[in-house]
């Protein structure tokens, strides 16, 4: 069963909150799995390349990063979708790059945002396994954009 959730739009208070960390006992739970699945379906239905739980009115630190070419981002590289729970970017490259961003919560606007070209991020899987990895280019941009959502920041705040 696929569940497509409504997406919060710019100006709604949920998008300005600092989201809460997923708690130890929530890892591996049915609720977390179902939330991740609904987030994924909602992102796909809207042709997003990433999504954060606060965008579907759930103020928890969960994001999906899923770069792929689609009509909204025709030149995006393809990667396997990654669900990140409690993600933390612990390293930003000093090299930055400007690039166009949009957002499912700001459907009528795009803008050039300067981001670190490469980042290292630490996160947990849905089952609570800890992962550390590095992204560069467009996927690194998506991670930074989605982590911003967990901190109540929209790309338009960075223009
Ligand atoms: Zn967004």
Q: Does 25 appear as a known binding residue?
A: no
Q: Which domain holds residue 139?
A: 13-158
Q: How far is the CA of 26 from the centre of ligand 1 (A)?
A: 24
Structural domain includes residue 3: no
The CATH number for 100's domain is: 3.90.45.10
Does pTM top 0.95 for this prediction?
yes
Where do we find the tokens 């669900």?
A: 83
pLDDT, residue 9, reads 98
Structural domain includes residue 2: no
Q: How far is the CA of 31 from the centre of ligand 1 (A)?
A: 23
Q: Does 122 appear as a known binding residue?
A: no
Is 146 among the catalytic positions?
Answer: yes
**Residue 22 vs residues 82, 125, 134: alpha-carbon distances, Å:** 16, 11, 22
What is the tens place of the pLDDT at every residue in 133-155? 999 999 999 999 999 999 999 99
């Amino acid at each position: 069963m696929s569940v497509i959730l409504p997406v919060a739009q710019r100006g709604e208070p949920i998008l300005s909150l600092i989201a809460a960390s997923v708690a130890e006992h929530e890892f591996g739970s049915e609720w977390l799995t179902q939330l991740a699945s609904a987030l994924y379906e909602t992102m796909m239905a809207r042709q997003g390349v990433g999504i954060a739980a606060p965008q579907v009115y759930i103020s928890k630190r969960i994001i999906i990063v899923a770069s792929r070419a689609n009509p909204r981002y025709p030149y995006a590289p393809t990667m396997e979708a990654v669900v990140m729970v409690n993600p933390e970017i612990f390293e930003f490259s000093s090299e930055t790059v400007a690039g166009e961003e949009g957002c499912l919560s700001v459907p009528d606007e795009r803008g050039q945002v300067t981001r670190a070209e490469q980042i290292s991020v630490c996160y947990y899987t849905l089952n609570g396994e800890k992962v550390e990895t590095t992204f560069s280019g467009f996927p690194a941009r998506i991670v930074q954009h989605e982590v911003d959502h967990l901190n109540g920041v929209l790309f338009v705040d960075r223009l």
